[in-house]
Amino acid sequence: MDKPTLVTGANGHLGYNICRLLVERGEPVRAMIRATADPKPLEALGVSIVRGDILDAAAAAAAVEGTRRVHHTAAGFLMWAKDPQKDIIRPSVEGTRNVVEAAAKAGVEKLVYTSTTGTMGFSLTPDRLVDETHTIESPHTYYVRGKVAAEQEAYKVAAKTGLALCSTRGSSSDLASSSSPSPCGRSPTS
């Protein structure tokens, strides 16, 4: 049997859809979700479910062990918090470090890190192009600050360990099929 692909944050908007698409392609999937997450939508897909928190290095290592690839989508999609360092930035950076280090140690083929277009920033003038090589200098939300720091940490660990890593920088998503709609895909009254 083929080694599964691990999807962290599998109960989230993007993670669920990655699981769904991998299953549709006939690939075995291991879905990592927190202990408090509802597994029913993922169970309906027939994926293997592992419970754990990416802030727990041992849980991340156990989830990654025996997988071929990793899609790291787990992140707190929060724009504000009473303690943004603890609730937004730390989970992004430390959680990402735990997953990337575990993937490198387990010898996975490749890790796809899910970032955000917010990490690139934008150009204030039309004559200056901004692409994936650009990093925003002054992130405007704690979420983007966390994602910038986590993406930098992911590439730092990958460079140190030799892990094949790439990142995707998606924008607000509103996929047609989802177990839980993204806050960006909801109207203000829903």
Give the residue from 97, 164, 169, 165 showing the smallest Cα distance to 133: 169
Q: What is the pLDDT of residues 16-38, one digit of tens each?
A: 999 999 999 999 999 999 999 99
147 catalytic? Reply is yes
Domain 5-174 belongs in CATH node 3.40.50.1820: no
Asked if 169 and 32 count as a contact pair (C-beta separation under 8 A), the reply is no
- Single out the catalytic residue among 82, 105, 147, 160: 147
Enumerate residues 6+ apart whose C-beta is below 8 A from 70: 5, 6, 7, 8, 64, 99, 103, 108, 110, 111, 112
Give the residue from 165, 169, 118 showing the smallest Cα distance to 146: 118
Lowest mean pLDDT, pick from 99-103, 117-121, 131-135, 176-180: 176-180
pLDDT cut 90: percent of the chain above it = 67
Q: What is the pLDDT of residues 58-113, one digit of tens each?
A: 999 999 999 999 999 998 777 778 999 999 999 999 999 999 999 999 999 999 99
Asked if 170 and 1 count as a contact pair (C-beta separation under 8 A), the reply is no
Domain boundaries in the chain? 5-174
